Structure 1
Amino acid sequence: MAFQCQRDCYRREFTTSVVSCHPAELKIDNSGKKEKVKGFNIILKDTILFPEGGGQPDDQGVLNDIPVLRVTRQGADAVHFVTSPLEEGVEVQMKVDWERRFNHMQQHSGQHLITAIADSMFGFKTTSWELGRQRSVIELDTPSVEPGQVEALEKAVNEKIREQVPVSVKVVAMDDPTVEKVRSRGLPEGHTGPIRIIDIEGIDANMCCGTHVSNLSHLQAIKILGTEKGKKNKTNLIFVAGCRVLKYAERSYSVERALTSLLKTGPEDHVEAVDKLQKSVKVFQKNNLNLLRDLAVLIAENFKSNPNRGKLFCLHRKDGDNEFMNIIANEIGTEGTLIFLTVGDEKEAGLFLLAGPIEMVDTLGPRVAELLEGKGAGKRGRYQGKANKMGRRPEVEVLLQENIQHRSSEEE
C-alpha cells in the first residue's frame, strides 16, 4: 500500500493509531562512534513519515511529541523506532520535520528531472543516485561528460522549472499496460501490490516510492556543481536543488568573505594569492628543513667536543622530526653513548628515538615506549616510535641513567 506520506507529500500532521509495539535496538552514529540505543519498534495503521528507500533517506518527526529516530520499511509496513513505548490501539498525533522533508522532496524531484533531461539530450542513462546531507550525486552510464554538456543540461532543467511543469502521482496495478511505458531500473526485491509512478508532465514518467514536489516551480532552481570520475566507465554528476542552492550560496559567500579578510585581496584574486602563499610555504619548509639538519650536526658536534660528556645524551626539540633525530644519532655514534631524543609537544604527543648499544636498546626500548604511553619498534641499536605522554620524559631519563650506572658497576 501507499503510505499517507506518499499520497500527500505536503501533509505535515496526521492522526493514526498504533498497530504494534515491540522492544528493539538501534545503532546510531554519535560523533563518528557507533552506539546502540534501546527502544521500541512501532508499526502504525498509516504514517506521514517516509521510510528510507529509492535512494532517499527517511523522514524525521514525532509521535505524541516522542522523537522518531529512524523509519524503515519491512515488507508492507513502515517501522518507527522510538525510545518510549506506546500501547497498541492508542491514537497518536504525528508531525513531520517539514524542513527535512521538503529538502528531500526538492532533491529527489530534481534528480528525476536531471536524469530525464540528461537522457533525452545526450543519451546519458542514470544507473544509481544518492541523496547526501549537503549535495546529491547521480551516477551516469558514460565515461565522461563535457563542460559544455553540463552547462547545457543545467540550463535546460532550470528552463523546465521556470515553465512550472506539473508533477503528479499515479498508482497502478502491476499488470497495467502503463507500467511497460515508464522509465525504471526495476522494482525492489519482494515488491507486492500497486506500483507508484511519478509523472513530470511531458518530460518523464518513472516508478518511484519517494516523496516529490507537485510542481517543478517548487524546486526553485538547480545548480550542477560539477562532475567527477565514478566507477568503471561511469561519471558522477553532483548537484543541489532548491533550499540547498541558497545554503550553498550562503556558505560560499561566507568563505569568500573570510578569504578576502585573510588574503587582503578581492575574490577574483583569491586563487592567485593562495598559489603564491603555497609556493612561499614550500620555500620556507625547505629552508627550515636545511636549518634543522645543520642544527642537528652542530648539536652532535658540540656534545662530542665536550671533554666532560657522559654516556647518556638526552634532547627534546618541539619542531624536530625523525630525520632530525637520526642525524644527531648518526653524528654522535652509538657504540659508547646511549641517546634519547624526542620531538613534538612537550607534554602530549610526539616522536621518540632511543639509540645506543644494541643490547641496551633491545632491553630498554619497549620500556621507554611503555613509559611514554606510545608504541615503537626497532633493530640494530635503534628503537623509535610515537609517544602520547611526552611529559613523562624525566621518568625515562631516570630509567636510562640507572641502567647506565648499573652496567658501569658490573664492568668494574
Structure 2
Amino acid sequence: MAFQCQRDCYMKEFVTSVVSCCPAELKHEVNGKKETLKGFNVKLQDTILFPEGGGQPDDHGLIGDVPVLRVTRQGPEAIHFVGSPLEVGQEVQVQVDWERRFDHMQQHSGQHLITALADTLFGYKTTSWELGRQRSTIELDTPSVKPAQLQALEEAINEKIRVHVPVTVQLLSIDDPAVEKVRSRGLPDDHAGPIRIVDIEGVDANMCCGTHVSNLSQLQVIKLLGTEKGKKNKTNLIFLAGNRVLKYAEKSYSTERSLVALLKTGPDDHVDAVDKLQKSVKLLQKTNLSLLRDMAVLITQNFKNDPQRGNFFSLHKKEGDNEFMNIIANEINTEETLVFLTVGEEKGPGLFLLAGPSGRVADMGPRVLEMLQGKGAGKNGRFQGKANSLARRGEVEAFLQQHCKHHTSEEE
C-alpha cells in the first residue's frame, strides 16, 4: 500500500477519518534523558504523515489540533502516536510540518543522487546512510575517497541539479521484470503491496518508500563537507542538501563575524591567531603550574615553622591540581598531622585530598566522601578523589577538627 504522502509528496493538508485509537506509550529522549510518554496510537484511513522508513525519519504534524509526536509503520499501516484520544469514525484534517518534510525530501533525494554518481564515477557502493538532524552521512564501501574524487563527485552532483533532471515515482508489482533492473538493498520482511520505484531520469532507479522532490532543481545545491573513516574499511561521506547549505553558510558567517571581533583579525588570519593564542595559553599554564608548586612548598614550610601549628592542617585553593595537593601532603609529616586539602570552585565541583595516620584516614575518608558528594578511594594514609560539590567543605573541616581533638584527648 502507498500512503497519500507517497502518492503526493507535496500535499500539506489532507482530510481523512479515524479508523482506530488505542492507549499506548512512547519512549523518547528529551535533553538526553529517556522518558516514557502515555498517549494513544491512532490509525487513519490514509495519511500524509510519512512513517519512519528507508533511512528517512518520520513526519511531524497535526491531526485536527492534536500534535503527532511519532509515526511508525506496521506492515501496511501507519501508526500515529498522539497525546490525546481521537474519536473513531470522525473526519479529521491532517497537516504536515512542511519545513521538516521538505528538508527530509531534499536530504533523501540528495542521497539517491550522491549514491548513484559515486557508483557510476568510481564504483563506490552505498551500504547504508543516515539522515541526521544537522548533517547526513552516506557509508561507502571503500577504505578512502581521494580529495580529487570528492571534488569531481560534487561537481557532477551539482551539474545534474543545474540541468533540472526530473524525479518520478512508479508503482510496480513484485513480479514485474522491471523490478530486477532497479537498485535495491532489499525489501523489509513485512512489505506488502506494490514495489515503489524512485527514478531520477537517466541517473538512477531505486526501490524506496521515502518522500522525494519532483525535480533535482529543487535540491538547490549539495555540499560534500568531507569524509570520515568508517567501520570495516568503509568511508563515511558527509553532506548537506538544499536549505541546510544556506543555514550552514549563515551559521558559518555568524561565527566568522564573532571571531573577527574577538581575534581582531580578518577571516584569513583566524587560524594563525588561534594558534598563537594556544601557544601563549600553554606557556602561561606551564608558568602557573611552576608557581603553584613553589607556593605549595612555601605553604608547608610556613606551617612547619609555626610553633602553634597543632596536628591539623586545612587549605582550600581555587587554582590547583592533584600535584599541588600531593606536594603539600608530602612535605608535611602526615604520620602526626591530619591534612585536608581542596581545589576548585568554593561551592562547585573540585578535587580533595585527606592525608594522615592510616587508621584515621581509613575511618574518616568515606564520611568525607559522602559530605562532598564525591567519588574517590584511599590507601596508605591517603584518601582522594573528585567532589561534586565543595559547598559543605566547612562542615568537613569542622568534623575533622573535632575528630583530631577527640583523638588528642584520648592520647592524654
- TM class by shorter chain equals over 0.9
Tell me which residue corresponds to 1:360. 360
Question: Deviations for 1:12-34, whole angstroms, at most 9, x for unmatched residues?
Answer: 00000111100000012111111
> In structure 1, what residue type is equivalent to 2:12?
R
Tell me which residue corresponds to 1:243. 243
SS class of match (1:346): coil
Tell me which residue corresponds to 2:256. 256
- Aligned CA-pair RMSD: 0.8
* Deviation, structure 1 residue 276: 1.0
| TM-score (structure 2 length as normaliser) | 0.99
Question: Deviations for 1:210-266, whole angstroms, at most 9, x for unmatched residues?
Answer: 000000000000000001100111000000000001001001101111111111110
Question: Deviations for 1:299-323, whole angstroms, at most 9, x for unmatched residues?
Answer: 1111111122110000000011111
Q: Distance in 1 between matches of 2:107 and 2:348?
A: 46
Tell me which residue corresponds to 1:402. 402
Q: Distance in 2 between matches of 1:10 and 1:230?
A: 35
Question: Deviations for 1:112-162, whole angstroms, at most 9, x for unmatched residues?
Answer: 000001110111100000000011000000000000000000000100000
Q: Distance in 2 between matches of 1:191 and 1:90?
A: 29
Question: Deviations for 1:20-70, whole angstroms, at most 9, x for unmatched residues?
Answer: 100000012111111111100000010000000000000000000110000
Tell me which residue corresponds to 1:228. 228
Q: Distance in 1 between matches of 2:267 and 2:345?
A: 37
SS class of match (1:384): strand
* Deviation, structure 1 residue 365: 0.8
Tell me which residue corresponds to 1:197. 197
Q: Distance in 2 between matches of 1:60 and 1:358?
A: 62
> In structure 2, what residue type is equivalent to 1:403?
H
> In structure 2, what residue type is equivalent to 1:372?
L
Tell me which residue corresponds to 1:15. 15
Q: Distance in 2 between matches of 1:12 and 1:297?
A: 73
* Deviation, structure 1 residue 396: 1.5
Aligned residues: percent identity?
Answer: 74
Tell me which residue corresponds to 2:110. 110
Tell me which residue corresponds to 1:4. 4
| 262-271 or 392-401, which deviates more | 392-401
* Deviation, structure 1 residue 395: 1.4
Tell me which residue corresponds to 1:148. 148
| TM-score (structure 1 length as normaliser) | 0.99
SS class of match (1:309): coil
SS class of match (2:391): helix
SS class of match (1:391): coil
Tell me which residue corresponds to 2:160. 160
Tell me which residue corresponds to 2:135. 135
Tell me the number of residue pairs that the alignment of Structure 1 and Structure 2 aligns: 412
> In structure 2, what residue type is equivalent to 1:373?
Q
* Deviation, structure 1 residue 376: 2.2
1:305 aligns with 2:286: no
SS class of match (2:225): strand
Tell me which residue corresponds to 1:45. 45
Q: Distance in 1 between matches of 2:233 and 2:86?
A: 50
| 162-171 or 368-377, which deviates more | 368-377
Q: Distance in 2 between matches of 1:215 and 1:254?
A: 31
| 343-352 or 370-379, which deviates more | 370-379
* Deviation, structure 1 residue 408: 1.5
- Residue pairs, 1:25-64, within 5 angstroms: 25-64=25-64
Question: Deviations for 1:65-117, whole angstroms, at most 9, x for unmatched residues?
Answer: 11000000011100000011111111110000001100000000000000001
Q: Distance in 1 between matches of 2:132 and 2:316?
A: 46
| 288-297 or 369-378, which deviates more | 369-378
* Deviation, structure 1 residue 391: 2.4
> In structure 2, what residue type is equivalent to 1:369?
L
* Deviation, structure 1 residue 393: 1.7
> In structure 2, what residue type is equivalent to 1:376?
G
* Deviation, structure 1 residue 348: 2.2
Question: Deviations for 1:149-191, whole angstroms, at most 9, x for unmatched residues?
Answer: 0000000010000000000000000000110000111111221
Q: Distance in 2 between matches of 1:281 and 1:56?
A: 45
Q: Distance in 1 between matches of 2:389 and 2:280?
A: 34
> In structure 2, what residue type is equivalent to 1:150?
L
Tell me which residue corresponds to 2:182. 182
